[in-house]
Structure formats: structure tokens, C-alpha cells
Amino acid sequence: MREVVVVGQPNAGKTLFLLNFAAYTGLSVADLALRAEDGTTTTKSLPLSAARRNLVDAARHKTQVVQSLELRFPSGKTARFARVSDTPGLADAISPDAVLRRAMAAALEALRRADVVLHMIDAALVGRHGEAAVAAVDREIADYGFARGPYALLANKQDLPLARAGTNVLRRMFPGRRVIPVSALQRRGFREVKLFVWRHV
Amino acid sequence: MLLSGQPVGPVYPADVIRMVAEGSLAPQRAVNWLSVLERRAGARPGADGESGAPAGASDALEAAWRDLDKLIGLDRVKTHLREVLAYAHMQVLRQQHGLHTEPIVLHTVMFGRPGTGKTTVARLMSRILHAAGLLSKGHIVETERADLVGEYVGHTAQRTKEQIRKATGGVLFVDEAYSLMRGGEKDFGREAIDCLVKAMEDQRHDLVVILAGYPEEMAEFLAVNPGLESRFPIQIEFPDYTLAEMQEIARLMCQERDYELSEAAAEALGVYVSIARLLPNFGNARVIRNVLEGAMRRQAWRLLNPDADARRRGLSRRELMQLLPEDLGEEVLACAKWSSSASPTPGRRSFS
């Protein structure tokens, strides 16, 4: 099965995106595969609504392990499956907190293994603060992901003001990359993401 | 602590990941390193797709072997596993070269008392087999009787199949497997066993079943199910830890959590363990973990309670790290006191 990974800064909206996107592809109960930092996985079943309640938070660094869902992408009479993983947020600096560092290491490991990279950036933040809001780690991911395989930049939070301006900034900064405006909260742009993933798994 | 700027950069992508976890490399630089290293290696990870081992397999394999080696004691277990897993890996490699291969059956029985590392080793086995390309996911699903046996006729097969479905691609770990035989002829446990046996045959290429439990009960369980024993070619015994190994485990557990045992505390713990391990249901490493976790809570209260003078003058780094004998709890202290009154050189005698 192909691995799709959602990466980005903390609080870009990765977890909410994964859960809402899973619901969009027709999933109702999430068999979350949680990959701990030592590389082992455990499975946990949660209804999506409960998962949203438990996993999504406005606090930074809420997600500390790699969480994956197997999603089904119907194609004609059959379907393709892909494992989509949500990862802990990556920040520029070295964190003094060992737990966070290990979480970030797990995120990098997932990024390294992925076949398809979905890179999520908070476009509303970029709209407000311009290029400064795009962290160095984002630039690196954009280069890395783009150089090695299917890569899409998800300009998230289109439900907030200035997100469109932010999306334009991102398009200018990362020429040649596929930029998809989405709103994880309002489930906008999911069709395009689904097509993109479907084409590459 | 953060390592000071090292002149040598990472050599393998796995180093990059490790350095981020250690805190010697910022994530931003790490992604850059990954680009550089992977370009240098010339191969796009994941380019080999579905066939053979997953991307970065040799790194993952090495890391998993290293983790197995890091476990304290368990020498016989390690040697045994190393041979079995190397043989399995060899079959995969031989297959790639079109050589004759034997069918690989890796279903395992683990005999051992609580806390002797059965689950930990099962996890590592799953990881190693995954990295060697023998299991597609490399996870572990831990089950016990309640997860497998249903409440009414026909329910058991459903439940067991559900667990098998979840475990496919990894390891199905059945703890206290003999409890499936509890309750006599009419018990649904039998049905669960039959269902497991069928899955072990049908899905032997992508599922490893591990039965685990107390040595005596497991031996009896296999004896009354003669058909079962032959289906589990790998049988591993987990001996109790020796006193020295337990002390090493305690030290390591503290180290991992950034704590340290004061000399007196280490001594007291040694005495306690040497006495406690004579009890029939001694929990081995689990006992140590429980004592240490209790100690960390007591240490917190010792330093932060309203009367502590340490609280007023502020806490030093050393104080934050150190566990004293009084943190270890009444049971440990009582043992230590009893022993020091009984003999001049307590706790040094080995019971192994």
C-alpha cells in the first residue's frame, strides 16, 4: 500500500485535515494506527467525531505520534487504498523537550518513507505576515518533497480572511509546485486533494 | 543535554532522525540533510515500490537489531532469535536470487514469568520481520482471552477473526494463551484456538502468531493440545532476570527518564529485589518499573511539599534528578532495614 504523509508546522491543521478528509472519503470509524517513536504501531478504533474531539486542539504540538488511517479511493468498480499519516508538527528550532524532539524525529521518519507528500501551510498566517510566516523548515520540505516524488502544497485555513492573499504568496515562493487551497475546517478543496492522491497511489 | 556542535555530519538518513531525537540537529537542517544524503545515495526512497523490503529497510533492520541487543540479559533469547530471524531473512534474499527456499513459519511460543520481556521481544520481532520484508506492516496486536472469546455461540469466530484481521501484516500476540482452554469442553475458547490455527495456516506469509504465558501453564497447554505444538516451530524461554541484570535494568530505566538512583537507594533497591524475587509471582522488570515510578512521584512530593525547605531555596538540577532511599516506598525500606539488621553485608548475596 502506498504511504501518503501530511507534514507541516505545528498548528497548520494537519490532524483536523486528516480526520475530515477521512470522513470525506467515506470513513466513519477510524482504525487509527499509532506509530510510536520507537517504530512500533498499535491500532485503536475511534468514531471520527470522537477522534476529532480527542486529537484536535488549538494548542501547539498536540499531535505527538504519527497517526495513520487507511483510506479508500474508489476507482471504477474497484478501489485503491492508501495509508494517510498525520505527523507531529515540525518546527525550525531544536526543542528542549525530549518528547517533542522524538515526536519530530518520528515525523521526519514518516516523511522519509512516504510515497506522496502533502505539505500543509497555514495560508491565513502567510496572508497576515507575508513570507516571514513560512518557516525555514517549510522551505526545506518544499524542496525535499518536490525533488523526490509526488508533492502537493496544501494552503490551509481558506475559511479565514487573507488566506487567499497567503495562497498567492505561496504560489510565488514555490514556483512549479502544485498548490491546492483547502479548508480543513470547512472541508473545501478536498475533491482536488482526493484526485491528486488518487492519481499517485 | 544538547550535544555541542559536532564537526561530523550525519552519514545515513537514520543518523539524521536519531540526531533530531537527541536534539543535536534542528528539524529544518534535518530535512536539508535528508535531501543531501538521499541524493548522494542516488536512489529515490520508495522507488523499489511494493517489491521486496520497504524503503530504508537496511537502516530500519539495523536499528531494530541494535534495539534487541540493547535489551539487558536475555542472552539465550537473543541468540535464538538472531538465528531464526537471520534464517528467515536469508530465505527472502535467496528467493530474490531464484534459489531454492524453505517455507518460513515463524509462529512462536514464549514461556516466561511476568515482566521477563516477552512483549518487548515480540514487538522487536515484528519490527525486524517487517524490516526484512517478511511482514507487510510490522505492528503488534496484543490480545488476551477476553478479546478472542465471544459470549454466545458463533460470536467467538467473529471476534477472533476480527483480531486476526487487525493483526494481518504483523504479529498477533496472545497473552496467557492457556486461558483459552479454561472452562472445559463446552467453553468457547476451543473455537478461538481452531480459528487461530486456521489463520496461521492460511495467512502464514503475512501473519505471525505468538502465544505467551507462564512456563508451567504454557507447557501444560501445549501438552494437552498435541496438534498445536507442531504448529509453533519457534519456542523461546524467558528466564527470570538475575539480580545483577535487574540492577542494570533499574539503572537504565532511570537513565532513560533523566533520573538517577543515589548509591544508598540503589543498594536498598538491590536488597528489596533479592528478597522479592523469591516470591512465586514476582514480576521481574515490571516490579522495578513500578517501584521507580512510585519513587518518582514520592520524590516530587518530597521536594514540593509545603514543608520542604528545598522548595523555598529553589531546586538544583541534581535534586531534580536524584532518587533517595526514602523515595522508594515503605516495602523497599522495610526490606533494607530488615536486611541491615540481619547481616553486615546485605543484598550483595546473589540468589541466582
Return the closest-CA partner of residue B337 out of B257, B271, B274. B271
pLDDT score recorded for residue B107: 92
Query: Is residue A171 predicted with pLDDT exceeding 50?
Result: yes
Reported residue count of chain B is 352
Region B119-134: mean pLDDT is: 87
Mean pLDDT of chain A: 86
User: From the candidates B17, B29, B31, B129, which should be mutated to test the interface with A, based on the most A CB atoms within 10 A?
Assistant: B31
Task: At B288, list the grid cell.
Answer: 522495578
Radius of gyration of chain A (CA): 16
Q: Would you tell me which residues 64-83 of chain B have a C-beta closer than 8 angstroms to some C-beta of chain A?
A: 64, 67
Q: How does residue B40 score in pLDDT terms, banded at 50, 70 and 90?
A: low
Query: Is residue B346 predicted with pLDDT exceeding 50?
Result: no
Query: Is residue A8 predicted with pLDDT exceeding 90?
Result: yes
Interface check B171 vs A, CB under 8 A: no
d(CA B247, CA B250): 5
Tens of pLDDT, residues A79-132: 788 888 888 889 888 888 888 888 888 889 888 888 899 999 999 999 999 888
CB contacts < 8 A, A to B, total 112
Interface check A115 vs B, CB under 8 A: yes
Q: Which of B22, B32, B63 is facing A140, going by the closest CB pair?
A: B32
Q: How does residue A174 score in pLDDT terms, banded at 50, 70 and 90?
A: very high
0.80 exceeded by pTM: no
Nearest residue of chain A to residue B46 (CA atoms): A115
Minimal C-alpha gap between B90 and chain A (Å):
23
Query: Is residue B10 predicted with pLDDT exceeding 80?
Result: no
Contact A109 B38 (CB under 8 A): no
Return all residues near B207 (Cβ < 8 A) that are at least 6 apart.
B135, B164, B167, B168, B169, B170, B171, B172, B199, B200
* Residues facing B238 on adjacent strands: B112
Interface check A131 vs B, CB under 8 A: no
Nearest residue of chain A to residue B47 (CA atoms): A115
Mean pLDDT of chain B: 81
Query: Is residue B81 predicted with pLDDT exceeding 80?
Result: yes
Query: Is residue A69 predicted with pLDDT exceeding 70?
Result: yes
pLDDT score recorded for residue A157: 93
Q: Which residue has the cell 498536540?
A: A62
Contacts by A97-101, CB closer than 8 A, 24 or more apart = A98/B21, A98/B23, A98/B258, A99/A64, A100/A61, A100/A64, A101/B20, A101/B21, A101/B22, A101/B23
Strand pairing report for A41-47 and A29-35: antiparallel
Q: Which residue has the higher pLDDT, A85 or A2?
A: A85
Minimal C-alpha gap between B273 and chain A (Å):
28
Minimal C-alpha gap between B261 and chain A (Å):
21
**ipTM score assigned to the predicted complex:** 0.79
Q: How far is CA A125 from CA A92, A159, A161, in A?
A: 16, 12, 10
Q: Which of B17, B22, B38 is facing A108, going by the closest CB pair?
A: B17
Contact B139 A108 (CB under 8 A): no
